[in-house]
Amino acid sequence: MFQAKVKCGVTALALLLAVAFSLAELMPPQRAIASSDEQEASAQATEQTMEQHYKNIQALKGLPASQMRPMMNYISAALGMSCADCHVRTNGQFEFDKDDNNHKKIARRMIQMTMDLNKQFFNGRPQVSCYTCHQGHEHPASVPPLPRVTPKEEARPSGAPPKPEEILAKYTQAVGGKEAVEKIKTRVIKGQSVAANGQGFPLEINFAAPGQYTLNVALPQSASTQKFNGSAGWIKNAREDRAMDGVDLMRARSLALSLAPLQINDPKVRLGFGGYEKIGDREAVALRGALPDKRRVRYLFDKETGLLLRRVVTTETPIGIDPEQTDYEDYREVDGVKVPHTIRTSYLDNAYSSTRKFTEIKHNAHVDEAQFKLPEAK
Ligand code: HEC
Ligand code: HEC
């Protein structure tokens, strides 16, 4: 079950004490965001509401309890505030339900205002969010800065937009072509997992086609392990030993894409052209679509090389949109296929963000299939 106390405690600990291990590999139990429609329906039927699960809910009544964490992370990021700016502590322990902080009281009214605006003017879609006004600041700016900045005219690409299948075909070609990719049956990868605080730990990934992997990070106290078999997964670390939930699976798929690049051709995800965008100094072309669990996905490909630069998955909440971003960098050729050697994952909750760097990749070495077997769900 979703354990707010424990998780929030852990987040707080990470923020306050800069805990000396990669929280990124200790994925949080964000429950009841299921991976298929069927699971979703049953999760919704059984899931608690905010007021059933938490002690002092006034503005967020009726919403699923699993949205608390994304929403609180969202609010913190949108205002450039931390949990402690709105929530009081006694002897270092957060008491999230207490209202003895004026910022919390203002924030509650702001939540109400934001939801009312969306209900009244935008058909309930979260068009107005905390970020719309606050833009990462406690106090929104209401005076435009002088001297006026004239926006640069971006040259609009002329001609018809590329077809999704053309973009995907170029991508397939860019990573080495279907034949070369399909020759790779296993991958044994060694590298480093670097947490947002800069600390790195040895990382090992064993991959077997079509889409299974195990990932091991040697944390000082104990190992952090993930198993993913292409559709389901398992997480084991010092705190947890459980099946992957929807959020974990989404993150696992982002990693799997760099190991099994042709999985992007998922027949369950219909992709459409999503415009052009700049990523650093690269021009990117976007494909966008909806995942089977209804979250939105956006893929950005390098316009010139065709390689995948970024995958963004967004979760909608009534006060704003919670993004999760994976950046694929430092593509290098190994045995005729291009592999990103740096994979950067970013979340609003920075304690979970991490960068995985590959230093050694061996193809078609022996990988014991037994390691992909998932434990029985409890
Ligand atoms: C800008 C202020 C603000 C920030 C920052 C903020 N919160 Fe909250 N939080 C609130 C408000 C307001 C509520 C009550 C919502 C309601 O009344 O429905 C709340 C409620 C909660 C609750 C439910 C408590 C209960 O039992 O009733 C938890 C848990 C929580 N916040 C955790 C966090 C965490 C963890 C962070 C940091 C990641 C955080 N909050 C950051 C304003 C904030
Ligand atoms: C339509 C614009 C708008 C939206 C949307 C909005 N705010 Fe605000 N917010 C304001 C303005 C204006 C103030 C007052 C600014 C000041 O005190 O300087 C404010 C003040 C606040 C403050 C008090 C800051 C302080 O230190 O006094 C908090 C906390 C806050 N907002 C939280 C939120 C949260 C959380 C959301 C999203 C659920 C949100 N706001 C959405 C405009 C907005």
Is 202 found in the same domain as 120? Answer: no
**71 touches ligand 2 (CB under 6 Å):** no
Ligand 2 centroid–CA 60 distance in Å is 17
Is 331 found in the same domain as 214? Answer: yes
**374 touches ligand 2 (CB under 6 Å):** no
| Domain at 332, CATH number | 2.50.20.10
Q: How many domains does the chain have?
A: 2
Q: Do the Cβ atoms of 220 and 20 come closer than 8 Å?
A: yes
Is 210 found in the same domain as 171? Answer: yes
For position 373, what pLDDT does the model report?
Answer: 93
Is 36 found in the same domain as 112? Answer: yes
Q: pLDDT tens, 99-127?
A: 999 999 999 999 999 999 999 999 989 99
Q: Which of 134, 154, 181 is the last residue of a domain?
A: 134
- Across 12-26, 43-57, 287-301, the highest mean pLDDT is recorded for 287-301
Helix 4-17 to helix 68-79 angle (10° resolution) is 30
Within a domain: residue 142?
Answer: no
**279 touches ligand 1 (CB under 6 Å):** no
Ligand nearest to the CA of 116: 2
Ligand 1 centroid–CA 114 distance in Å is 16
More confident residue, 211 or 307: 307
**pLDDT band (50, 70, 90) for residue 243:** very high
Within a domain: residue 36?
Answer: yes
Is 310 found in the same domain as 195? Answer: yes
Phi, psi for residue 53 in degrees, rounded to 5: -95, -35
pTM, rounded to two decimals: 0.83
Q: Which of 134, 153, 178 is the last residue of a domain?
A: 134
Boundaries of domain holding 256: 165-372
Within a domain: residue 139?
Answer: no
Amino acid 58 reads Q
Amino acid 262 reads L
For position 45, what pLDDT does the model report?
Answer: 54
Is 227 found in the same domain as 126? Answer: no
Within a domain: residue 84?
Answer: yes
User: What is the length of the chain?
Assistant: 378
The closest-lying atom of ligand 2 relative to the alpha carbon of residue 129 is 5
Is 130 found in the same domain as 170? Answer: no
Within a domain: residue 140?
Answer: no
Is 325 found in the same domain as 196? Answer: yes
Is 53 found in the same domain as 94? Answer: yes
**77 touches ligand 2 (CB under 6 Å):** no
Q: pLDDT tens, 282-330?
A: 999 999 999 887 889 999 999 999 999 999 999 888 999 999 999 999 9
Phi, psi for residue 250 in degrees, rounded to 5: -65, -40
Is 365 found in the same domain as 265? Answer: yes
Is 108 found in the same domain as 209? Answer: no
For position 12, what pLDDT does the model report?
Answer: 39
Is 183 found in the same domain as 96? Answer: no
How many other C-beta atoms can be found within 10 angstroms of the C-beta atom of residue 330?
A: 12
**134 touches ligand 1 (CB under 6 Å):** no
Ligand nearest to the CA of 104: 1
**98 touches ligand 1 (CB under 6 Å):** no
The closest-lying atom of ligand 2 relative to the alpha carbon of residue 114 is 5
Within a domain: residue 154?
Answer: no
| Domain at 42, CATH number | 1.10.468
For position 266, what pLDDT does the model report?
Answer: 87
Amino acid 204 reads E
Within a domain: residue 207?
Answer: yes
Average pLDDT of the segment spanning 182-191: 96
Ligand 1 centroid–CA 359 distance in Å is 41
Within a domain: residue 159?
Answer: no
For position 84, what pLDDT does the model report?
Answer: 96
- Nearest residue (by CA) to ligand 2, atom 28, is 107
Ligand nearest to the CA of 72: 1
Ligand nearest to the CA of 77: 1
Sign of the C-alpha dihedral, residues 135, 103, 114, 57?
positive
252 by Cβ neighbours in 10 Å (0-12 / 13-18 / 19+) ranks as: buried
